Amino acid sequence: MHRFLLNRNSGFSLVELLILLSMAAVASAFSIPILTSAMQEMQTQADVKSIATTMTYARMSAASQLTRYRMTFELGNNRWSVSKRNPDGTYTVQQATNELSNGIARGGITFKAESGSAPPDFPTESSTMITFNSRGVPMEGAGVVYLSSENVDYAISVSLAGKVQFWRNQDGQWIAK
């Protein structure tokens, strides 16, 4: 028969625990800013994709229902909405008014009224309204909406043919995503 002896000296000393806790604190001090920055970037991209998806929805709904749809952007309030044209010529909001995310600790995701540069063949000013006709083509011509989060600028564009695309400004160059 084997006997198991308990070793009363097993475990960690207080000094070893303090060293481990200090190492964990140093590691978290380096990782929290990186994680916060990455989360802000993901949140901004989610807003950009949400606007692009809503714009595509408005375009496709206009074509499938043979009526006009429009997206209205409240640039100063960071909101947008989609409306459908009624037979009497008035518009009815189709979805709840959407807002941009506040970001991590109010990280500053905002619409921009204009950009110093623009994606190819687009204006430098943000559109406040994009109306799609019954064929899903923007009535006012090509439109674009600019967003900003800290030092990164984004744009959501709709071409003359109705193609919705989003862009990111990297080192002064607009890159389609």
The pTM (predicted TM-score) of the whole model is 0.77
Contacts of residue 149, defined as CB under 8 A and 6 or more positions apart, other chains included, come to 40, 41, 43, 44, 103, 107, 108, 109, 110
pLDDT at 156 over 80: yes
pLDDT at 62 over 90: yes
Higher pLDDT, 58 or 35: 58
Mean pLDDT of 46-71: 92
Mean pLDDT of 83-109: 82
Give me the residue spans of the domains in the chain: 44-176
Task: State the CATH architecture for 44-176.
Answer: 3-Layer(bab) Sandwich (3.55)
Mean pLDDT of 6-18: 75
Whether the CB-CB separation of 78 and 112 falls below 8 Å is answered with no
Task: State both tokens at 78.
Answer: 């960071």
Whether the CB-CB separation of 127 and 113 falls below 8 Å is answered with no
pLDDT at 106 over 60: no
Whether the CB-CB separation of 51 and 145 falls below 8 Å is answered with yes
pLDDT of residue 37: 75
